[in-house]
């Protein structure tokens, strides 16, 4: 009998010889295996049949279905999927390299050109994903692998959302990783994913690569659900600090590009990956993006006017308060 978490040394389907574990989680494990027919290494993702999520089988099948549709150099390649003794398995290409999360931990910061290269490749991958009316919903550094050649591989399509069957992902509460999640999804977890929600996550990733920090962080004295709630409120309500304000070596062009990726209002973001790629290509070519300059000049102007109005209201309220205090003192003393 096979056990999903004890497959080391087993030969599956008379073809895949399991070597060792390369990934582990509550939902299943990922094994390194040798394809005895093709004589090459592969990665095999297995399901945990004992997990508590009621629709895990549908999710696993959805991941296999989506991966089988995709053929992009920046997305992990699908080879096969099957069920063996009650254990669902997906066979994918084995990619040598390092996760972007671990690369960032080791390097502390990523070179700007390198960060933009990764972003371009990721947006290219998502263009392919979105063309199938599918949305990833969990773009983060942990789900992006950097190959030994220095290119992106997008992983983990376990919580994808397909427009034809969006109810599949609605069981439970928040789906995804809060620090990379678009504000409109945090406000309403039943809201449908779309290109702009993935674009927001890409922007958070780029912000992190350029500055070594995420734009929002929960208070350090909080834990568990309280910590998540605190972070969610900040993402929804707190103002964004431009990357160039954190690191002056980041050009205004790049900083504005990041800010448009992570605008709080989805209507103010790039509406699709193609729009974002057009501006990114201009940045990589050293060209000026007039629309971004004008856009943020207007944003700055609006912010300045709002600030002046707030200051004026504060002065008026303070004066009224002083007048009231003066009248009270005059009457009683």
Catalytic entry in 8, 35, 128, 138: 138
Question: What whole-number distance in Å separates Cα of residue 194 and Cα of residue 278?
Answer: 19
- 245 as an active site residue: the answer is no
Question: What whole-number distance in Å separates Cα of residue 133 and Cα of residue 131?
Answer: 5
* 96-100 long-range Cβ contacts below 8 angstroms, 24+ apart: 96/147, 96/148, 97/145, 97/146, 97/147, 97/148, 97/153, 98/145, 98/146, 99/141, 99/142, 99/143, 99/144, 99/145, 99/146, 100/141, 100/142, 100/144, 100/145, 100/146, 100/152, 100/205, 100/209
Beta strands in 76-200 (DSSP E): 78-84, 87-93, 97-99, 134-135, 144-147, 152-154, 161-162
CB of 76 within 8 A of CB of 153? yes
Helix axes 195-211, 273-284, angle to 10 degrees: 30
Q: Which residues are catalytic?
A: 138
């Amino acid at each position: 009998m096979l056990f999903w978490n004890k497959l080391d040394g087993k030969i599956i389907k008379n073809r895949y010889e399991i070597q060792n574990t390369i990934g582990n989680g509550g939902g299943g494990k990922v094994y390194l295996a040798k394809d005895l027919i093709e004589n090459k290494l592969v990665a095999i993702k297995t399901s945990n049949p004992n997990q508590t999520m009621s629709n895990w089988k549908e999710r696993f099948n959805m991941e296999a279905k989506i991966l089988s549709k995709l053929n992009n150099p920046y997305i992990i390649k699908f080879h096969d999927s099957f069920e063996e003794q009650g254990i669902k398995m997906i066979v994918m290409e084995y990619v040598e390299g390092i996760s972007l999360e671990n690369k960032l931990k080791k390097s502390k910061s990523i070179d700007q050109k390198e960060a933009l290269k990764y972003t371009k490749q990721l947006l290219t991958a998502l263009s392919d994903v979105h063309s199938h009316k599918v949305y990833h919903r969990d773009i983060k550094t942990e789900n992006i692998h950097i190959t030994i050649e220095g290119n992106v591989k997008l992983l983990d399509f376990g919580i994808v959302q397909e427009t034809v069957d969006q109810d599949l992902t609605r069981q439970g509460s928040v789906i995804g990783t809060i620090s990379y999640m678009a504000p409109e999804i945090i406000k309403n977890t039943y809201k449908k994913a779309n290109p702009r929600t993935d674009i927001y996550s890409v922007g958070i990733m780029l912000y992190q690569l350029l500055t070594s920090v995420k734009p929002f962080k929960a208070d350090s004295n909080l834990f568990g659900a309280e910590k998540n709630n605190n972070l969610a409120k900040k993402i929804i309500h707190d103002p964004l600090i431009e990357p160039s304000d954190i690191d002056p070596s980041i050009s205004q062009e790049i900083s504005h590009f990041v800010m448009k990726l992570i605008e709080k209002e989805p209507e103010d973001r790039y509406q699709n990956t193609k729009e974002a790629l057009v501006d990114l290509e201009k940045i990589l070519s050293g060209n000026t993006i007039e629309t971004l300059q004008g856009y943020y000049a207007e944003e700055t102007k609006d912010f300045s006017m709002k600030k002046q109005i707030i200051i004026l209201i504060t002065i008026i309220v303070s004066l009224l308060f002083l007048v009231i205090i003066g009248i009270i003192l005059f009457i009683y003393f």
